[in-house]
Amino acid sequence: MIDLATPTIWFIILLLGIGTFLIRFSFIGVLGNRRLPDYVMRLLRFVPVAVMPGLVAPLIVWPQATGGEPDLPRLTAAVAALLIGAATRSLLGAIVGGMSVLYLMLYLTS
């Protein structure tokens, strides 16, 4: 239960809002139209594949819903979503396919 004075709660909310905005605005705001060195441009092209797999890997291997225990239905569903997404390049197909495999596996293993 949160047991903080109302001004403290508002202070946290405001600073969190301002800080998050500044993180998001940082490079878009400061760099503007400036041309970056070629190697930096090369690095930046890899941001999506560098951030997102690392963001989800712990959620897949140690899912919260099982209290952090690796879980066969979730691993299978993750692999299915990856394969469908790579083969079809369809976002919706990979989401629906991955969730269907998850429900099927949860049903089979329950």
Is 11 a residue that touches another protein (CB under 8 A)? yes
Residue 98 near residue 56 (C-beta atoms within 8 A): no
The CB-side HSE value for 69 (13 A sphere, CA atoms) comes to: 5
Tell me, by CB under 8 A, how many residues bind another protein: 76
Q: Where are the beta strands (DSSP E) in 40-97?
A: none
Q: Which of 49, 72, 74, 47 is nearest to 59 (CA)?
A: 74
- Minimal distance in Å, beta carbon 69 to another protein? 13
- Minimal distance in Å, beta carbon 88 to another protein? 8
Binding mask 42-61 for another protein (x = CB under 8 A): xxxxxxxxxxxxxxxxxxxx
- Minimal distance in Å, beta carbon 57 to another protein? 4
CA 28 vs CA 3, 14, 25, 40, 73: distances in Å: 38, 22, 5, 15, 40
Spatial distance between the Cα atoms of 100 and 94, rounded to a whole number of angstroms: 10
Interacting residues with another protein between 70 and 89 (CB under 8 A): 74, 77-78, 81-86, 89
- Minimal distance in Å, beta carbon 73 to another protein? 8
Is 104 a residue that touches another protein (CB under 8 A)? no
Is 67 a residue that touches another protein (CB under 8 A)? no
